[in-house]
Amino acid sequence: MKDVPNTTLHYGPMISKDSETSTMFFLCLTLLSAAAFQQSGAAVLLKCNETVEVVAGGTVTLNCSIHYQDVAVEDCKVISFTWNNTNVSIPCDSGSGEYICDSDNQTYVSLIISNVMKEENYTAAVITDCGLPLSSTINVQVKHSRGIHGDNEALSDTVTPGPEPEKVTNVAAILGICVVVIVAAISFFLFGTDRGRKLIKHNTRETNHTAYSDPESKTNSLHQPV
């Protein structure tokens, strides 16, 4: 039977690690600079309700309106947005139904939270083509029922104090935006540039070459006596 050479494919690094690290650092640095610019008074502002009350187990909606200064609303649009709970990014696209994110891509963003059982602080970060606004902290407070004491006592509600609103920090928001930008940059490189398409085509060609490199060997192995 004809010997089949043992072919091992070696994929060299198409992009240097130093280049990738520099690119990601530059993107994050740019976003941090943009956030600092927005904090000092920029053309786009994000105004949200600071405190929201909800009955335990109920549903609450957080709303933030986008305001543009010195620029027409029609000239701006929302590119992407994220909601954050303390230091965790809200999974808007998880499909669980617990969180529903919405926006008209221009004037507002909103977050619907179902089955609310505890106090939480939320923030929103929006990327528009006119600026990068960040929200202040939104405190969600939960009402708990005391119950009925006696035949003639009415049912009363009490509001459990929520956690003290923290100073507005942009770390979680910036990290969420960095992830969005990095994913978009990788997708653009793979599908929007000649080099990325060549890389995908090269990998596909090498995979097919490995699968069909020696059909004669496969035929001989089928007719080999046991």
**Alpha-carbon span 26 to 24, nearest angstrom:** 5
Find the length of the chain.
226
Q: Tokens standing for 71?
A: 């620029």
Q: Where are the domains of the chain?
A: 29-189
User: What average pLDDT does the chain have?
Assistant: 70
**pLDDT value at position 86?**
77
Ranges of the chain with pLDDT below 70: 1-42, 145-173, 181, 183-185, 187-192, 196, 207-226
**Alpha-carbon span 186 to 168, nearest angstrom:** 30
* CA torsion, ordered 104, 105, 110, 114, to nearest 10 deg: 80
Stated pTM of the model: 0.50
Buried b (16+ CB within 10 A) or exposed e, 51-74: ebebeeeeebebbbebebeeeeee
Q: CATH: 3.30.70.270, 3.40.190.10, 3.40.50.10260, 2.60.40.10. Which one for 29-189?
A: 2.60.40.10
Cβ–Cβ < 8 Å for 165, 137 = yes
**pLDDT value at position 138?**
94
